[in-house]
Amino acid sequence: MKLPTVTIAPLALLAAVAAPTAHGMFRFDCFNNLVVDRVDPIVNPGVASGHLHAISGGNGFSKSADGAAMKASTCTSCPIGADLSAYWVPQMYVKFKNGTGYGLVESHQIVYYEPRPTGNETVIPFPDGLKMLAGNPKLREAGDSIEQRAITWVCIDYDNSHPEQQGIPNFKCPDGLRGQVNFPMCWDGVNTDSDDHKSHVAYATDLDGGSCPDGWQKMVKIFYEAFYSVDKYDDEWDGDQHPFVLSNGDRTGYGFHGDFLDGWDKDVLRDAIDQCTDENYFNSGECPPLTASFSSDAPEEKCVNEPEIVEDISPVTALPGNNPVDGDTVASTAGSSSSTATETPSVAASVSGSAASVGSGSAGDAAASATSAPAQSSDGASVGGEADALTPTPETPATSAAPEVTSEAPTSTPETTLAPTPTGAGLILGNPPEETKPICRSRPKMPPFRRVQVHTWSTNFRAATEIVEVAKLPTPAAGNVVVKNHFLGINATDINITNGGYGRTTLPINCGLEAGQWDLYVGVVTSVGEGVTSAKVNDYVAFQHLGAFAEYTEVPATKLIQTPELSPAVIPLTVCGVSASLALEKAGDMKTNETVFVSAAAGATGQFVAQLAKLAGNHVIGACSSDEKVAYLKSLGVDRPINYKKEDLSAVLKAEYPDGINLAFESVGGELFKAVLDNIAVLGRIIVFGNVSHYHGDSGPEPQYGYQQNRKMQLRSASLRGFLLFHHAKDVPEHLERLLKLIKEGKLKAGIDPTEFRGLESIPDAIDRLYAQKNIGKLVIRL
| pLDDT of residue 153 exceeding 60 | yes
Q: What is the mean pLDDT of residues 464-493?
A: 85
Q: Where do runs of H (alpha helix) occur along 573-685?
A: 578-582, 606-615, 627-635, 649-656, 670-678
Segment holding 266, helix H or strand E: helix 266-275
Which pLDDT value is given to residue 690? Answer: 83
Question: Each residue of 642-678: pLDDT tens digit?
Answer: 999 999 999 999 999 999 999 999 998 888 988 999 9
Which pLDDT value is given to residue 782? Answer: 85
How far apart are the C-alpha atoms of 467 and 782, rounded to whole Å? 16
Q: How many helices (H) and strands (E) does the chain have?
A: 17, 36
Q: What is the mean pLDDT of residues 455-481?
A: 87
Question: Which of 286-290, 326-330, 554-558, 638-642 is least confident?
Answer: 326-330
Which pLDDT value is given to residue 191? Answer: 96
Domain 584-751 in CATH 3.90.1150.10? The answer is no
Band of residue 338 on the pLDDT scale cut at 50, 70, 90? very low
Band of residue 355 on the pLDDT scale cut at 50, 70, 90? very low
540 vs 567, more confident: 540
Which pLDDT value is given to residue 421? Answer: 28
CB-count burial class (<10 Å; 0-12, 13-18, 19+) for 258? buried
How far apart are the C-alpha atoms of 63 and 60, rounded to whole Å? 10
Which pLDDT value is given to residue 23? Answer: 64
| pLDDT of residue 522 exceeding 80 | no
Question: Each residue of 384-420: pLDDT tens digit?
Answer: 333 333 223 233 333 323 333 333 333 333 333 322 3
Which pLDDT value is given to residue 337? Answer: 30
DSSP 525-541: EEEE-TT--S--TT-EE
Which pLDDT value is given to residue 387? Answer: 35
Residue-range domain boundaries for the chain: 22-291, 449-569, 584-751
| pLDDT of residue 352 exceeding 90 | no
| pLDDT of residue 592 exceeding 70 | yes
How far apart are the C-alpha atoms of 513 and 637, rounded to whole Å? 31
Kindly report the CATH class assigned to 449-569.
alpha beta
Which pLDDT value is given to residue 525? Answer: 72
| pLDDT of residue 574 exceeding 80 | no
Q: What is the mean pLDDT of residues 179-198?
A: 96
Question: Each residue of 685-713: pLDDT tens digit?
Answer: 999 998 877 766 544 444 445 556 777 88
Which pLDDT value is given to residue 34? Answer: 94
How far apart are the C-alpha atoms of 306 and 313, rounded to whole Å? 14
Q: What are the strands of the beta sheet with 680-688, ordered from one edge?
A: 640-643, 619-624, 595-598, 661-666, 680-688, 719-722
Which pLDDT value is given to residue 376? Answer: 32
